[in-house]
Amino acid sequence: MTTPRERILASIRGGLLRASLPADGDGRPGRHDDAPAAPAVREMAEQFTAALTALSGHVHRASGTESVADLIAGIARDRQAASCISWDDGPLGCAGLLAALASRGLTRVTYDVSGDPERRLLDAASLAGVGLGVTGAHAALADTGGLVLVSGPGRGRLVSVLPPVHVAVVEERRLRPSLAALLREEPDLLDAGSNVVIVAGPSRTADIEMTLTHGVHGPKHVHVILVA
Amino acid sequence: MTDAALAFHRRIDAALADVRLRQALALTTGRLAGGRTAAFAGLADSEACRDDARRARARAIARLDSSLDQFATAASARGCTIHWAETAADARQIISGIARERGIRLAVKSKSMATEEVELNEALEHAGVRVVETDLGEFVVQLGGDRPSHIITPIIHRSRQDVAALFREKLGATAEDVADIPAMTALARRVLRAEFLQAGMGISGVNLAVAETGSICIVTNEGNGRLTTTLPRVHVALLGLERLVPTAADLAAVLTVLARSATGQASSVYTNVITGPRRRSGGPGGPQAGDPDGPDELHIVILDNGRSRLLGTALSEILYCVRCGACLNACPVYRLVGGHAYGGVYPGPVGSVVMPGLHGVEAWAELAHASSLCGACRDVCPVKIDLPHLLLAVRREAAAKRLAPVWIRAAMPVYAAVATRPRLYRWAGRAAARLARVLQHDGWIRRLPGPLAAWTASRDFPAPAARSFVEEHQARKAAER
Amino acid sequence: MTPRPARIQLFATCLVDQFVPAAGHAAAEVLERCGVEVHVPPDQTCCGQPAFNAGFADDAAAMARATIDALSRSDDPVVVPSGSCADMIVNHYPELLAGDATYGPKAKALAARTYEFSQFLVDVLGVDLPAAPAGPTLAYHASCHGLRGLGLREQPRRLLRAVAGARCTDLPDAETCCGFGGLFAVKMGPLSGAMLDAKLDAIERSGADLVVATDVSCLMHIGGGLHRRASRVRTRHIAEVLAGPDHD
């Protein structure tokens, strides 16, 4: 008595025997395994800034917790965000940032969507009024203006997708030329968290008459603070 | 002609007559195709990028049994529940079962052509689950009760006024809510946000699956892919069994060309790689709580539905397809008639191979004849599939099954018999020229007989020359001597 | 670059042979002016592409064998005033006859010495054609099979630029299919007609006097549409343009 798995795999094996596949599936790794030299941080910062700005994202430069906190508080004011959800201090990569934000009047809301469905629903709904999400980033990709966010303890996925504004604090030294380059350096990256997402700018659609609109389901505003 | 072929021709006629549709198609496909050209021009080594992407797909398909087995094992090891659906009915049953067992009443969906292919929504509704499409275009399709007309931008066939009318009728939207496109988008965001928060199940497709880690990659621009796969407690992902790449590096290679080919973006806004459901405590973060959010359960339903059988045919190369839609945007036929004319889930050049490949030439071969074999599709395919070659393979299978029109089946052996006998060919040419003299006026024929009248419906036909080139050339050479 | 051949075989193609012999005569004349002897194998007929495209592989193979026979009595290069027929021989004959122990190798050998007309002039002969005196304006349509099957992007344009200079420009959307597609023109008449309409509109926008292409198949289809519209625009095969005003 075979299982569906066995039958499907057997059917595939049978298919492969008869398949008219072009000759190039010969098992050689692709050229993407070659590693070109990495450009300087400054060049990558410029490239990243150009790419993200072209996508209607914003890039800021700062150094030190206080200036980062000032920037974020400023963005919160501009966007009329009184409260935020955020990653924990450690993952933000900016010591004491949460305290600095609190002292500037930005309330941090915590959430817990685990546990029973009723509790989960309530908590998720309470996030509706939160105007700002603050994350760190595992890396920033210069070629696409993308941020690599890895989920984990103190690193919620919802922080970068639920609120209408997303601010990410990234150390400059975490800039990489491309996803391919990052994976060459960290081949096990996909296993680092249940969710590894690359976010390149604000949420967008052009489904209606090819007219570009931002902020469909994800944030309408994305700010990246590059920290020296 | 078969009934299916006749119906296809009628849909084509209707589409050609739809002026508004033609304008919308010209706008959308022009923009997308132009975006693709610009995006590839921006790559330093675009041909090498396409080669890399092709190799990534080819390596997975060449050993698809072990790739898939590796994927399933790796995904299970990371906490996924793997299901194997041999048919569309199996997929429907499995997913309905998952919902029923958990008492799920509401499911949100991010865009998935595979779920359309297996007609999932209807089955879930029968099982008492309300299903809400969350991709803006698919949401409009769902409200309108029709089907997507393009695999990336589903509502080319809808004007903003159509969408406004639908929102007013189905969502009770006010005039202010539908005043302009940003307002309509904001309304959709509000309505769908509530659904995301309440849904017990999120259903997605899979753009690409990574065999070595059991990861699934879901790519969107709107963010609905992230919310669908994060908020509900249960995430179900429907994965076509051919959508694999071997390693993470291979994933990067395909991602380099995917969004560029689909919309001209260097990257989609959200490239969402999921490896297992949310992680519990006890991980590297220590004994405290694991992931603060994410689904408790991740079910991956591996779908066959004819793919393994297709693998064993002359059409197997079509399994490299990553569903970017570039071939649709480049195809002069698709650009004229749009997706609905093709009559199936997958339109355009890829659909003209996939539909007969998965569901048989008897019902679908005519799609492969709606092509001048110009090759524009092959030029833009990110994984360099030789689509014209595959279209010809469909035509060969159809001809072998005697599906060609009677007059062509009758004429073909006559034409071959004449063309393989040079003296008979010369005689036939002279005879045809004499016959045409009767039909022509001023060197042109305004009406050809029988099935050839389709030519003269829209253009004149030149009369054959009084004397063929070969005969004239021979005569001139003889005169010179 | 391959060494300059002294003699070539001209494979006229059935459409040139029966409908636009002037293109064949012009091609022969241009080649002779370039110092190449032109032989026209008398038993040539049709390359079999219509059968191949309709999915009738056996019929196409029969015609392929006959064509191979006609063109293999000598080893001289074969020049074809048609991108699609040259593409058929070069790219499809070997695959079509791959299972044939006798004709498989012959197909490969023929494919290796077959060229489309403009490809032969530029890539093999490396000719520099003289500029023609003032004449009609020309709009170039890039026939699909030659363009994408044989990579004929530069060669026809280069020749036309040399001869006609600024008088010759690309049609708007020059590389978009005209809608001929062989039997497609009849099987899918309305689609073919709609694609033709777009091409005819582009021709009108260009304001050119003549439409020029490497394939008479496209030109018969475009010309038929122009005539139906009572347009003053005429069609010319590239060989006719290169051969000069006597051929207008």
pLDDT digits (tens, 9 = 90+) for B68-123: 999 999 999 999 999 999 999 999 999 999 999 999 999 999 999 999 999 999 99
At B244-253, the pLDDT tens digits run 999 999 999 9
Same domain membership, residue B475 and residue B426: yes
CB-closest option in A9, A26, A151 to B65? A9
Cβ neighbours of A155 in B, within 8 Å: 291-292
DSSP B366-431: HHHHS-----HHHHH-TT---HHHHHHHHHHHHHHTT-S-HHHHHHHHHHHHHHT-HHHHHHHHHH
Structure tokens belonging to residue C113? 């010495």
Q: Please count the structural domains in chain C.
A: 2
Structural domain boundaries enclosing B137: 56-305
Measured between alpha carbons, how far is C139 from B21 in angstroms, rounded to an integer?
30
Same domain membership, residue B459 and residue B323: no
Kindly indicate the confidence band of residue A21, based on its pLDDT and cuts at 50, 70 and 90: confident
Cβ neighbours of B272 in A, within 8 Å: 195, 197
Structure tokens belonging to residue B183? 């307002």
Same domain membership, residue C166 and residue C95: no
What was the pLDDT predicted at B20?
94
Percentage of chain A modeled with pLDDT above 90: 80
Task: Work out the angle between the directed axes of helices B469-480 and C21-33 (0-180°, nearest 10).
Answer: 50
What was the pLDDT predicted at B457?
96
Please check whether residue A113 lies inside any domain of the structure. Answer: yes
At B288-298, the pLDDT tens digits run 568 999 999 99
Q: Output the CA–CA distances (angstroms, integers) from residue B124 to B104, B117, B201, B458, in the order listed.
A: 10, 14, 11, 48
CB-closest option in A8, A25, A141 to B62? A25
Kindly indicate the confidence band of residue C41, based on its pLDDT and cuts at 50, 70 and 90: very high
CA atoms within 13 A on the CB side of B477: 15
Whole-model pTM: value is: 0.96
What was the pLDDT predicted at B313?
96
Question: Which of A5, A12, A183 to mutate to probe the B interface, most B CBs <10 Å?
Answer: A12
Same domain membership, residue C111 and residue C161: no
Question: Which of B440, B459, B461, B480 to mutate to probe the C interface, most C CBs <10 Å?
Answer: B459
What was the pLDDT predicted at C128?
86
Question: Which of B32, B291, B300, B304 to mutate to probe the A interface, most A CBs <10 Å?
Answer: B291
Please check whether residue C2 lies inside any domain of the structure. Answer: no
At A99-139, the pLDDT tens digits run 999 999 999 998 877 666 666 666 767 787 899 999 999 99
Final residue of a structural domain among B253, B270, B305:
B305
Q: Is B439 on the interface with C (CB under 8 A)?
A: no
At A175-212, the pLDDT tens digits run 999 999 999 999 999 999 999 999 999 999 999 999 99
Q: Please count the structural domains in chain A.
A: 1
Same domain membership, residue B269 and residue B331: no
**Is A in contact with C (3 or more beta carbon pairs below 8 Å)?**
no
Mean pLDDT, rounded, for B399-410: 95
B264 secondary structure, DSSP code: S
Please check whether residue A89 lies inside any domain of the structure. Answer: yes
Structural domain boundaries enclosing C77: 7-124
At A65-85, the pLDDT tens digits run 999 999 999 999 999 999 999
Measured between alpha carbons, how far is C141 from B423 in angstroms, rounded to an integer?
35
At B7-34, the pLDDT tens digits run 999 999 999 999 999 999 999 999 999 9
Final residue of a structural domain among C87, C103, C124:
C124
What was the pLDDT predicted at C248?
41
What was the pLDDT predicted at A115?
64
Same domain membership, residue B290 and residue B154: yes
Structure tokens belonging to residue A170? 């990234």
Cβ neighbours of A4 in B, within 8 Å: 83-86, 90
Q: Do A209 and B159 lie within an 8 Å CB cutoff?
A: yes
Please check whether residue B17 lies inside any domain of the structure. Answer: yes
CATH of the domain at C149: 3.40.50
Of B442, B430, B431, residue with least CA distance to B469 = B430
Cβ neighbours of C217 in B, within 8 Å: none
Phi–psi pair at B142, nearest 5 degrees: -65, -45
- CA of B304 vs chain C CAs: smallest distance (Å): 28
Output the average pLDDT for chain B. 95
Same domain membership, residue C170 and residue C65: no
Same domain membership, residue C146 and residue C84: no
> In terms of CA atoms, which chain B residue is nearest residue C199?
B332
CB-closest option in B370, B400, B420 to C191? B370
Q: Does the pLDDT value for residue C2 go beyond 80? A: no
DSSP B314-345: TTGGGGG-----HHHHH-HHHHHHTTGGG-SS
- CA of B176 vs chain C CAs: smallest distance (Å): 40
Output the average pLDDT for chain C. 96
At B153-169, the pLDDT tens digits run 999 999 999 999 999 99
Same domain membership, residue B160 and residue B219: yes
Per residue in C158-191, is it b (16+ CB within 10 Å) or e — as a string? bbbbbbbeebbbebebbbbbbbbbbbbbbbbbbb
Q: Does the pLDDT value for residue B144 go beyond 50? A: yes
Q: Do B252 and A179 lie within an 8 Å CB cutoff?
A: yes
Q: Do A8 and B184 lie within an 8 Å CB cutoff?
A: no
CB-closest option in B56, B86, B230 to A7? B86
What was the pLDDT predicted at A113?
74
The gap from C-alpha B256 to its chain's centroid, in whole angstroms, comes to 19
Q: Do A30 and B55 lie within an 8 Å CB cutoff?
A: yes
Q: Is C149 on the interface with B (CB under 8 A)?
A: yes
Kindly indicate the confidence band of residue A29, based on its pLDDT and cuts at 50, 70 and 90: low
Place of tokens 């941020």: A147
The one-letter code for the residue type at C195 is M
Mean pLDDT, rounded, for B286-309: 89
Measured between alpha carbons, how far is B284 from C195 in angstroms, rounded to an integer?
62
Q: Is residue C199 within 8 Å of residue B332, measured between CB atoms?
A: no
Q: Do B392 and C53 lie within an 8 Å CB cutoff?
A: yes
Please check whether residue A4 lies inside any domain of the structure. Answer: no
Cβ neighbours of A146 in B, within 8 Å: 267, 271
DSSP B166-211: HHHHHH---TTTTSSHHHHHHHHHHHHHHHHHH-SEEEE--SEEET
CATH of the domain at A138: 3.40.50.10420
Place of tokens 């978009």: C176
Percentage of chain C modeled with pLDDT above 70: 98
Same domain membership, residue B433 and residue B396: no
Same domain membership, residue B64 and residue B195: yes
- CA of C221 vs chain B CAs: smallest distance (Å): 7
Helix and strand counts by DSSP (H, E) for chain B: 23, 12
| Higher pLDDT, residue B131 or C248 | B131
- CA of B411 vs chain A CAs: smallest distance (Å): 30
Interface ipTM above 0.95: yes
Same domain membership, residue C111 and residue C68: yes
Measured between alpha carbons, how far is A97 from B264 in angstroms, rounded to an integer?
38
Question: Which of A86, A130, A190 to mutate to probe the B interface, most B CBs <10 Å?
Answer: A190
Which other chains touch chain A, taking contact as 3+ CB pairs less than 8 Å apart?
B
Per DSSP, helices labelled H in chain A are 4-18, 41-54, 65-78, 89-92, 97-103, 117-126, 179-185
The gap from C-alpha B339 to its chain's centroid, in whole angstroms, comes to 9
Same domain membership, residue B67 and residue B181: yes
Q: Is residue C216 within 8 Å of residue C82, measured between CB atoms?
A: yes
- CA of A74 vs chain B CAs: smallest distance (Å): 25
Specify the pairing of strand B208-210 against strand B215-220: antiparallel
Measured between alpha carbons, how far is A63 from A173 in angstroms, rounded to an integer?
13
Please check whether residue C143 lies inside any domain of the structure. Answer: yes
Phi–psi pair at A86, nearest 5 degrees: -155, 165
